[in-house]
Amino acid sequence: MTGRWASPCLCHQTPAAFAPSSGLPARSGRFISGPMTGWIETHRNVVTAWDCDHQGHMNTVKYYEKFDVAGWHMIQRSGATRARLDADGAGCVDVRMELDFVGELKVNDPLLIESGIEKVGKTSFTFRHRMTNVNTGELVARGRCTTVYFDLNKREKTPLPDDIRAGFEAIMIGDED
């Protein structure tokens, strides 16, 4: 890959990519690649001016957007990569999204999203997200999303393949989380 989009997603880089030179705390140590269980980092960003509304804080629609991006990291972590979905003629369709606003983010606030799988069903999975302000450690939002594995040709839900189910089960979180 070359040009503007040449660098890979930061979520797939090693801890050295997040040296303290940025002034931000080091990453939690849980990465997208490799075996793990529980909450994993799925998105890291900084609030920009265009993320904010006339009241000066991050607009509601941006929380959904950032949780959606984090959700795709969870989906790919399970093994349901774009190539795999295309080969299977499948997709992932959100059927329910819940969002709790707990705090506030403003321009230049660094944010971190960690996610985990709450439940895996026959045709669906539910993941949870938590967004924090990296500077303060404050929890600013919680999200929950239920997604259905979908046959794009038949336009109906379809059972999760066993290997993808196992991928989701490897990153399940407990009820106490």
pLDDT digits (tens, 9 = 90+) for 13-54: 333 333 333 343 444 443 334 444 589 999 999 999 999 999
The CATH classification of domain 52-169, taken from the options 3.30.420.40, 3.30.70.20, 3.10.129.10, 2.140.10.30: 3.10.129.10
Q: Which pLDDT belongs to residue 12?
A: 38
CA atoms within 13 A on the CB side of 116: 17
Q: Which pLDDT belongs to residue 176?
A: 54
Q: Which pLDDT belongs to residue 177?
A: 52
Averaged pLDDT for residues 63-82: 95
Average per-residue pLDDT for the chain: 84
Residues forming beta bridges with residue 130, ordered by sequence position: 114, 142
Q: Which pLDDT belongs to residue 141?
A: 98
- Number of residues assigned to the chain: 177
Q: Which amino acid is at 76?
A: Q
Distance from C-alpha of 80 to C-alpha of 73, rounded to nearest angstrom: 10
Q: Which DSSP helix (H) or strand (E) runs through 72? A: helix 60-77
Q: Which DSSP helix (H) or strand (E) runs through 82? A: helix 82-88
Distance from C-alpha of 101 to C-alpha of 158, rounded to nearest angstrom: 33
Q: Where are the domains of the chain?
A: 52-169
- C-alpha distances (whole Å) from 170 to each of 81, 117, 134 are 16, 9, 26
Pick 12 or 143 by higher pLDDT.
143
State both tokens at 121.
């069903």
The model's pLDDT over 86-123, given as tens digits with 9 standing for 90+, comes to: 999 999 999 999 999 999 999 999 999 999 999 999 99
Q: Which pLDDT belongs to residue 28?
A: 44
Q: Which pLDDT belongs to residue 10?
A: 39
On whether the pTM is more than 0.85, the answer is no
